[in-house]
Structures are given as structure tokens and as C-alpha cells.
């Protein structure tokens, strides 16, 4: 554990990524499950790994976890190659698959103790590691409970604890929120935030719940049919998508009107007015609200607001509608399956 912390500190001080995929390929016959995938993540960063089923996410994660070998290319964890130094990679990486085994006749402490021993932790070091994980995951009160009787939420906490038992610098989590109820998802999300913000771990997480990923991720990599389509922060991905589609300058705007007895009439009048304006398209209205795309620059957007007020529309909100991670995913991917 001490070596892991020292290595992580040295990596952070040099400004090097703690996780890197370099031109990674994995072929199964003619199927290109992973096709030239490259991206990086740094200490303290949560990166979302997003794609439809069969896109290559799990295969990439299995390679990172040294459970599979690439056809070509390489991946690095804290500077160690998954091809050349798999044993060293395992010291610095914790992998939580989308499902994991629950052994019969074993309670929570015994389960964590088993994995602590597997990672070579001994005596006081092992006991301290188990206690730390029990406290962090809030499983202390369930320490003596049989693991095959745990709820889905508590089982996911135990799976996360198993990955943390050797204090890895990099966490790879494959669909950790799958099947959780809303409260359990929120609690898991808070644990992941703590791992990155306070413990400075690098977290690579895949999920189909894109709204939640958007709340915790610093950056994202969008993959489809084995290839990375976009990579960066949500804002950077949005700019990449706009540049590719040729829609630079287009932005989504939202208008809200003051409530009143004539709100329906005011909304109808606003919709008609917007449809007559240049650079305005895709107008969508509901009572008291309007959302539309605007192709002008900031000066022209300011003029549009001024014209709205001059025309007598009772505007009380006028702002850009930021693109979510889900919006970016839908815009970038094409629904291709392998």
C-alpha cells in the first residue's frame, strides 16, 4: 500500500496520467471489439466511459484489469504496461466488474479479509485495510452479515470495498449503479466523488445512466463500434461535435415568461414572434416557456433579447440551455452495433 501511494504521488508530481490507453486494439476474428482506442486520465479525475451495449467498453476495461490482452497497442496504469508489467499494474488498479461472485457461508469481514490476503496484506496492515474499507463504505454495522443476504445497494458497496482493499490509485468501475434504487445510486455517487476529490484516485466509470455521469464526471470518452468518437470535458465534446457537424455558433436558448392570466396567449404570441425571426429555428413551446436554437453570435443574442423586450413579451428568464452528457451522446453516436 505504501508503494502504491508513493508511486501515485510521483505520477501526480510529474503531471503524468495515471491511466492511459495508447492505440488499443482487440480483435475476435473479424470482429473489431476495440479499434484504435486512445485516451488519458489523471489523479483526482472521474472519467465517464460511455457507449451502447457492444461498443467495446467492457473489453477495454478487462484489458486494463489484465484479464485480457490486446491484439495491438498498450495500456498503462501509473506508468506500468498491462502487456509487460501486469503484476505491477494489479498493485495500482482496482476493478469492479458489472457482476461479481458471492461466496457461500462468508460474511462481509471474511469476504474483505479473503481479498486482503490475496493482495498480500498481512497482520496489522490487513486489519487496518479492512477497517478502513468498512468505515468508508459504511458497512461496519453489517460486518457479520452473510454476503448472500445483502441488498443490491449493500452488495455494490461491498464490491467497491473489495476493489479498495489494497488502496489502488486507479479504479475501473463497470456499470456500478446498475439495478440500484435512487437512494443507493445517490449514495454510490457520493462515494465515487470522495474517491476522486479527497483520496485523489483516478476513476474510470461506465454507466447507461448518463444524467448521473454528467454530475460526477470531469471528462468523458464516447465509444461506438470499438472506436472513440469524442473525448474530453463535456464542453470540449460539445465543441468537437459542433465542429464536426458544421454548426459552430448554434446554441440552444430558453425563455420563460412571467405568470399571468393571459399566459397561454402570451406563449402563443411569443412562438409566432420567434418563428418570424432570422437565425431562430426549431422553436418548441409549452405554457410559459420556449426553447429554440439560435445561430447568431453573442452580440446578436443580446440584440434578440432586446427585441423581445421591445416587442412587449413579459420575459423573466433568458439563458442558454447547456448541453448535457446525454445530449452529446445522442448527437455523436449513430446507434451502430457490432
Helix H, strand E, coil C: the string for 4-62 is: HHHHHHHHHHCCCCCEEEEEEEEEECCEEEEEEEEEEECCCCEEEEECCCCCCHHHHHH
In the structure grid, which three cell numbers stand for residue 330, read together?
Answer: 445522442
Task: Report the alpha-carbon distance of residue 166 to residue 175 in Å, rounded.
Answer: 21
Cell matching residue 40: 488519458
For domain 250-323, the CATH class is alpha beta
- How far is Cα 320 from Cα 302, in angstroms, rounded to an integer? 12
pLDDT band at 260 (very low <50, low <70, confident <90, very high): confident
Fold of the domain built from segment(s) 2-232: Rossmann fold (3.40.50)
Structure confidence at residue 2 (pLDDT): 44
Of the two residues 56 and 327, the one the predictor is more confident about is 56
pLDDT of 338 over the 70 cut: no
Q: Calculate the CA dihedral of residues 134, 135, 140, 142 and round it to 10 degrees.
A: -60
Alpha-helix residue ranges (DSSP H) falling in the chain: 2-13, 57-64, 86-92, 108-118, 123-136, 152-164, 182-197, 210-216, 234-245, 263-275, 298-310, 325-332
Q: How far is CA 204 from the centre of its chain?
A: 7
pLDDT digits (tens, 9 = 90+) for 135-150: 999 999 999 999 999 9
In whole angstroms, give the CA distance from residue 227 to residue 38.
9
Q: What is the pLDDT of residue 337?
A: 63
Residue 250: the pLDDT is 67
pLDDT at 280: 94
Q: In whole angstroms, what is the distance from residue 12 CA to residue 139 CA?
A: 31
pTM above 0.85, yes or no: no
Q: Select from 90, 114, 228 the least CA-distant residue to 170.
A: 90
Which is nearest to 89 in space by CA: 110, 125, 64? 64
| Residue found by looking up cell 462515494 in the block | 191
Please provide the average confidence, as pLDDT, over all residues in the chain: 88
The domain spans of the chain are: 2-232, 250-323
Distance CA 162, CA 239 (A): 38
pLDDT (tens digit per residue) in 265-320: 999 999 999 999 999 999 999 999 999 989 888 899 999 999 999 999 999 999 88
- What residues have CB less than 8 Å from 279, skipping those under 6 apart? 294, 295, 296, 300, 304
Residue 1 has pLDDT above 50, yes or no: no
Task: Give φ, ψ of 335 to 5 degrees.
Answer: 75, 25
Q: Are 214 and 326 in contact (CB under 8 A)?
A: yes
Work out the burial of residue 149: count CB atoms within 10 Å of its CB; fewer than 13 is exposed, 13-18 middle, 19 or more buried. Answer: exposed
Amino acid at each position: 500500500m505504501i508503494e502504491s501511494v508513493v508511486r501515485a504521488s510521483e505520477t501526480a508530481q510529474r503531471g503524468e496520467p495515471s491511466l492511459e490507453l495508447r492505440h488499443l486494439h482487440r480483435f475476435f476474428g473479424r470482429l473489431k471489439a476495440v479499434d484504435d482506442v486512445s485516451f488519458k486520465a489523471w489523479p483526482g479525475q472521474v472519467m465517464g466511459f460511455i457507449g451502447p451495449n457492444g461498443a467495446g467498453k467492457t473489453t477495454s476495461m478487462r484489458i486494463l484489469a489484465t484479464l485480457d490482452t490486446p491484439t495491438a497497442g498498450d495500456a498503462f496504469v501509473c506508468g506500468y504496461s498491462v502487456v509487460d508489467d501486469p503484476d505491477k499494474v494489479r498493485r495500482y488498479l482496482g476493478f469492479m466488474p458489472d457482476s461479481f461472485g458471492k461466496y457461500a457461508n462468508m460474511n462481509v469481514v471474511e469476504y474483505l479479509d479473503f481479498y486482503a490476503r490475496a493482495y498480500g496484506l498481512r497482520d496489522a496492515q490487513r486489519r487496518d485495510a479492512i477497517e478502513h474499507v468498512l468505515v468508508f463504505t459504511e458497512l461496519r454495522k453489517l460486518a457479520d452479515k452473510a454476503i448472500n443476504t445483502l441488498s443490491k445497494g449493500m452488495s455494490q458497496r461491498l464490491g467497491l470495498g473489495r476493489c479498495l482493499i489494497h488502496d489502488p490509485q486507479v479504479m475501473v468501475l463497470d456499470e456500478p449503479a446498475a439495478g440500484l434504487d435512487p437512494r443507493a445510486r445517490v449514495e454510490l455517487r457520493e462515494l465515487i466523488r470522495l474517491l476522486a476529490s479527497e483520496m485523489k484516485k483516478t476513476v474510470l466509470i461506465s454507466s447507461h445512466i448518463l444524467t448521473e455521469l454528467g454530475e460526477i464526471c470531469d471528462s468523458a470518452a464516447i465509444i461506438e463500434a470499438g472506436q472513440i468518437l469524442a473525448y474530453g470535458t463535456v464542453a470540449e465534446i460539445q465543441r468537437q461535435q459542433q465542429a464536426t457537424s458544421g454548426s459552430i455558433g448554434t446554441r440552444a436558448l430558453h425563455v420563460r415568461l412571467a405568470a399571468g392570466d393571459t399566459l397561454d396567449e402570451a406563449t402563443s404570441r411569443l412562438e409566432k414572434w420567434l418563428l418570424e425571426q432570422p437565425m431562430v429555428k426549431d422553436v418548441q413551446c409549452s405554457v410559459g416557456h420556449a426553447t429554440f436554437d439560435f445561430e447568431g453570435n453573442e452580440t446578436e443574442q443580446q440584440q434578440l433579447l432586446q427585441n423581445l423586450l421591445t416587442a412587449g413579451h413579459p420575459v423573466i428568464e433568458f439563458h442558454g440551455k447547456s448541453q448535457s452528457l446525454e445530449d452529446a451522446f445522442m448527437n455523436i453516436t449513430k446507434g451502430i452495433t457490432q
